[in-house]
Amino acid sequence: MEAPPVSVMPVTGGTINMMEYLLQGSVLDQALESLLHRLRGLCDNMEPEIFADHELVYLLKGQQGNPFLLRARRSLSHPAAPWHLRYLGQPEVGDKSRHALVRNCVDVAASHSLPDFLNEMGFRMDHEFVAKGHIFRRGALKVVVSKLSRVLVPGNTENTEPLSLSSLVELSVLAPAGQDTVSEDMRSFAEQLKPLVHLEKIDPKRHM
Amino acid sequence: MQQREEKQLESSVESLISHVAHLKNALHSFIYKLENEYERLTWPSVLDNFALLSGQLNTINKLLRNEKTPSFRQQVIIPLLLSPDRDEDLAKLTEQRVPVFSHEIVPDHLRTKPDPEVEEQEKQLSAEAARIGPEVAQKQIQTLNKLCSNLLEKLNNPREDRDLEIAALRLTKQSFNSADTNALVAAVGFGKGLSKCRPPGTVAPGHPGQGPIMSGGPTLQQVTIGLGSGAPQQQGQPGKMPSNIKTNIKAASSMHPYNR
């Protein structure tokens, strides 16, 4: 592969070759334990990781055209850990032969001054939420089961309120562009979680 | 004629010995593993060992059943010399298992009938079998057959049972709610339902969620227009048009975020 390393890839005008393949679903709180139990059985033999994250979504408005979106995440349980900055591209959902939603994805670790830096660059925070839950792995597949909460007072992650009576379930794989075989693996894994959870490729535009 | 039979006997005994030696080696190494490497031994490798043993036993069985193998049952072995003294050669030949060829052990080793205890048990069983009448026996056979066929049916149709169970489960308890799914996806996707930090007046241009629609709309339109003008030239191969549309949309939407 002659693709340059991620760190030197230009974010604008270039092609970023890592794609995120994604399937989404949700599980009601009363069925959460059975889902976690099943995932423990299906996934790699390790203790599932528990996480509590605070995600801030930043927006850069240009003179014209679409705003530019960046997601900054920090761990609430490990305050010393680096921040995580993520860019997600436009989702592609149209291709019927692909079983998962596909979008560009760039992940970068960042220092704790990330919010100030983004502010200086002209980004403004658009919204924030707190996600708490479990991460499972099976080979390259990643399953995140998380409970989303809205932040009632901006910036105060102690004071939150659950968004719904369900947890979000996301099955994702990072792969170079064009590796559509991974979506087959994802589909067969998703089959094994039925009927507890139906993981589907959901076009976010439909639910705006 | 007799010579040929003798030769056959000899060769089949030889091959039997070599097969039994293989089996013995496999057993030996398996036992060694069980005793010394049980900490590292994985279940698949245990199964492999079992498969090896059963394969070797099968080969021996096949060899014994082979037409060319003379019936060992008809061969007579007579002890020619018994001695109470230790025989080093014999001990070496049997790996120290039989050091003496004496009156005490010969009946055990050259036995052609089952052990006395086994014989006793067999006798008891046949007595019991003779005791119950044929009607009772028939009844018992029928019961056993019924049990077996029930069990087989259960084993063969686990799917139906499972599907029934799942259906019952679904009726009693819903484990997910698609409205919740959509709400959660919309929330992580563009913050729907989450408190907005910017002043409400600037919603229209700054709404992040409108990005997809705004970009999706024009590009789609451009594609259809472009296709309309291009269509007359492509009339010869209408089948190719859909694929063109698809690639155009893909290319346009994936390029869009970057070419500003």
> What average pLDDT does the segment B59-81 reach?
83
Mean pLDDT (chain B, rounded): 75
The answer, yes or no, to whether residue B41 has pLDDT greater than 50, is yes
The answer, yes or no, to whether residue B58 has pLDDT greater than 90, is yes
Helix (H, G, I), strand (E, B) or coil at A117: helix
A149 contact B CB<8A: no
A135 contact B CB<8A: no
CB B46 within 8 A of CB B73: no
User: What pLDDT, in 10s, does the model give residues A151-191?
Assistant: 888 888 888 889 889 999 999 999 887 777 888 889 999 99
Confidence of residue B133 (pLDDT cuts 50, 70, 90): confident
ipTM of the complex: 0.80
User: Is residue A73 domain-resident?
Assistant: yes
**Distance in angstroms (rounded) separating the CA atoms of residues A185 and A23:** 12
Q: Which CATH class is domain B2-75?
A: mainly alpha
**Distance in angstroms (rounded) separating the CA atoms of residues A18 and A173:** 10
> What average pLDDT does the segment B14-38 reach?
91
Question: Taking CB atoms and an 8 Å limit, are B190 and A204 in contact across chains?
Answer: yes
The answer, yes or no, to whether residue B260 has pLDDT greater than 50, is no
Between B18 and B90, the more confident residue is: B18
CB A199 within 8 A of CB A99: no
Strands, E assignment, chain A: 18-28, 49-60, 68-75, 83-88, 101-110, 124-138, 141-151, 160-162, 166-176
Query: Which pLDDT score, from 0 to 100, does residue B169 have?
Result: 67
Q: Which residue of A has its CA nearest to B192?
A: A208
User: Is residue A4 domain-resident?
Assistant: no
User: Is residue A90 domain-resident?
Assistant: yes
pLDDT over 70 percentage in chain A: 91
- According to the per-residue pLDDT averaged within each range, which of A11-25, A85-99, B208-222 is highest? A85-99
> What average pLDDT does the segment B3-14 reach?
86
Kindly state the helix (H) or strand (E) to which residue B36 belongs, with its residue range. Answer: helix B2-36
The answer, yes or no, to whether residue B167 has pLDDT greater than 80, is no
The residue among B194, B215, B245 with the most chain A CBs within 10 A of its CB, best to mutate, is B194
Mean pLDDT (chain A, rounded): 85
The residue among A36, A55, A90 with the most chain B CBs within 10 A of its CB, best to mutate, is A90
Closest CA to B181 of A89, A136, A187, A148: A148
User: What pLDDT, in 10s, does the model give residues A38-83?
Assistant: 898 888 877 778 999 999 999 988 777 778 889 999 999 999 999 9
The CATH number covering residue A25 comes to: 2.40.320.10
Query: Mind giving me the DSSP string for B152-201?
Result: HHHHH-HHHHHHHHHHHHHHH-----HHHHHHHHHHHHH-TTSPB-S-GG
Give the number of domains in chain A. Answer: 1
> What average pLDDT does the segment B192-220 reach?
46
Query: Which pLDDT score, from 0 to 100, does residue A112 have?
Result: 93
User: Is residue A104 domain-resident?
Assistant: yes
Residues whose CB falls within 8 Å of the CB of residue B183, separated by 6 or more in sequence, listed in order: A163, A164, A207, B192, B193
**Distance in angstroms (rounded) separating the CA atoms of residues B27 and B49:** 9
Confidence of residue B54 (pLDDT cuts 50, 70, 90): very high
Confidence of residue B84 (pLDDT cuts 50, 70, 90): confident
- Structural domain that includes position A185: 18-207
* Residues shown for chain B: 260
The answer, yes or no, to whether residue A107 has pLDDT greater than 70, is yes
pLDDT over 70 percentage in chain B: 72
Question: Taking CB atoms and an 8 Å limit, are B258 and A11 in contact across chains?
Answer: yes
Which of A35, A148, A150 faces B195 most closely, judged by CB atoms? A150
> What average pLDDT does the segment B181-207 reach?
66
The residue among B184, B213, B244 with the most chain A CBs within 10 A of its CB, best to mutate, is B184
User: Is residue A170 domain-resident?
Assistant: yes
User: What pLDDT, in 10s, does the model give residues A111-137?
Assistant: 999 999 999 998 999 899 999 999 999
Burial class (CB in 10 A: 0-12, 13-18, 19+), A137: middle
Which of B174, B192, B214 faces A28 most closely, judged by CB atoms? B174
A121-125: long-range contacts at Cβ-Cβ below 8 A with a sequence spacing of 24 or more? A121/A60, A122/A60, A123/A58, A123/A59, A123/A60, A123/A70, A124/A58, A124/A59, A124/A60, A124/A61, A124/B197, A124/B198, A125/A56, A125/A57, A125/A58, A125/A59, A125/B197, A125/B198
User: Is residue A3 domain-resident?
Assistant: no
The answer, yes or no, to whether residue B190 has pLDDT greater than 70, is yes
